[in-house]
Amino acid sequence: MADDPQTPDWVRDAVFYQIFPDRFARSVLVPKPGHLDEWGAPPTYHGYQGGDLLGVVEHLDYLSDLGINALYFTPVFQSASNHRYHTHDYEKVDPMLGGNPALRRLIDEAHERGIRIVLDGVFNHASRGFFPFHDILENGADSAYLDWFTVKEFPLHAYDPEKAPNYAAWWGLPALPKFNTNSPEVREFLWGIGRKWIEFGADGWRLDVPNEIEDDEFWREFRRRVRAINPEAYIVGEVWSDAVRWLGGDMWDAVMNYQFTRACLAFFAGDVLNMDDLKRTSLHPTGDPGAPAFRKAIERLIGLYHPNVSAVMLNLLDSHDMARFLTLASGDRSALELATLFQMTYPGAPSIYYGDEIGLAGGHDPANRAAFPWHRPDSWNTELLHCFQRMIALRRSRPALRRGSFQFLHAEDDVIGYARQLGDEVVLVAINAGRMPRRFDLETGNLLPDGAVLEQSWARHSVRVEGATVRGIELGPRSGLVLATPRSSS
């Protein structure tokens, strides 16, 4: 464990966009099988809608205009599932996504625009179609790959729904045989895959359920192999709870910050939370509502990790593994807007799940994986889209929001106020998550000199600091305010 964990510098400036490839965009340039669901049809567990990587290439301008400079893809490797977490071939991009040439073009064209690419690595388990496991199905105890998995008896109950699998499988699901990562051959294979796609040009890995590989040395060596190719490669794990064990600088850089998600749901959605969908995740219960509880949750979270780790945490409001934030907030758009304002002004890398910015709704899987409605622009919430664009632009225009210190200045009732500071630049943010207007003073301590002038973002107003206080801040119901020191003219 490192005393001073070194994390990729570029992630501090990143705004991520998570893409579920089968549902983002379909290109006519990628040949497809004939039996696809219609684009935009209600999503199902097993049906394909035919999105592909060239479809993403064709919409890179949209993503750039939104302000995105990093993409995280759920798995892209060959698989017999629309989500592709059932990996058949770790060395081949799924032909339905356009194959390896499509990923090559995507990485090249994204990099030309300054957009990084992070891939999803499913290294805890494979699938029944993965060749070494298929070899065991065919050859039984004579298979050359027997020690790649943990087999209890033969024949394998891989396709018999009446019998539990008699081999180690993720959550007991027969479709997902769990790797035996004690096997030297398996370890070398997985480390080699980690290295291969970084050599190909990917900028990092998101690791699927990596905490279920209970072997810290496995992850230390994974990091060494990946970082030997690209010292700035980003390694982010999927862990829904606290993750101190893995974030000491010798394994991963960060995790998907679901504890951030949990706190945001409690504060910004609060009294309108959709409990039916929330209970289907480990984020339930969210904890107490209100500003003091929110401050406590966020300060606890920041206190868990080294500042270099907090600076690159992947801060998300929702993902493919939970109902969309808008749905969890019972359709309350103000909850999403306020949570996004906090997300864009908080330390770490914000991550937007595709379609959230236009008001795409959806409950738990598969409803949260709908096709992006390129074919129905009339269904887009363009006011919400413009709100996302403004907040992302604010983050990217203010170094203090990406790299500065963070401290709460106020947390009472349903109102929070906090500061970000980097050198002489100070940004103050105040948010009223309540249903009533609020008027209050914001104590700034020694952050700003007496008489300092602060500009209000998205408005032509300014305020003056008087005696270490911004006096008489007025916030309407469900609203936010951003004040900042003037930009340097140099």
> Which residues are tagged catalytic?
208, 238
Spatial contact of 71 and 19, defined as CB atoms under 8 Å apart: yes
Q: Which two tokens stand for residue 122?
A: 């499913």
Task: Show the tokens assigned to 105.
Answer: 């073009």
Helix pair angle (333-344, 382-397), 10° resolution: 10
Exposed (0-12), middle (13-18) or buried (19+): which is 98, by Cβ within 10 Å?
A: buried
Exposure on the CB side of residue 385, measured as CA atoms within 13 A? 14
Q: What is the DSSP string of 258-323?
A: HHHHHHHIIIIIGGG--HHHHTTSTT-S----SHHHHHHHHHHHHHHS-HHHHTT-EEES--TTS-
For the chain, how many helices (H) and strands (E)?
15, 18
Concatenating the DSSP letter of every residue in 193-214 gives: HHHHHHHHT--EEEESSGGGS-
Rounded Cα gap, residues 273 and 328, in angstroms? 6
Exposed/middle/buried for residue 153 (C-beta within 10 Å: 0-12, 13-18, 19+): exposed
Distance, in Å, from the CA atom of 136 to the CA atom of 147, rounded to the nearest integer, reads 10
Contact 194, 121 (CB under 8 A): yes
How many Å apart are CA 92 and CA 15, to the nearest integer?
A: 28
Distance CA 237, CA 292 (A): 29
Residues 6+ apart with CB under 8 A from 74: 18, 19, 20, 21, 83, 84, 85, 120, 320
| C-alpha distances in Å from residue 381, one per residue of 335, 357, 358, 384, 388 | 15, 8, 5, 5, 11
Single out the residue of 40, 5, 8 nearest to residue 22, CA to CA.
40
Look-up of token digits 């006096």 = 471
Structural contact between residues 29 and 54, judged by C-beta atoms closer than 8 angstroms = yes
Question: What's the burial of 47, exposed, middle or buried (CB within 10 Å: 0-12/13-18/19+)?
Answer: middle
Q: What is the DSSP letter of 181?
A: T
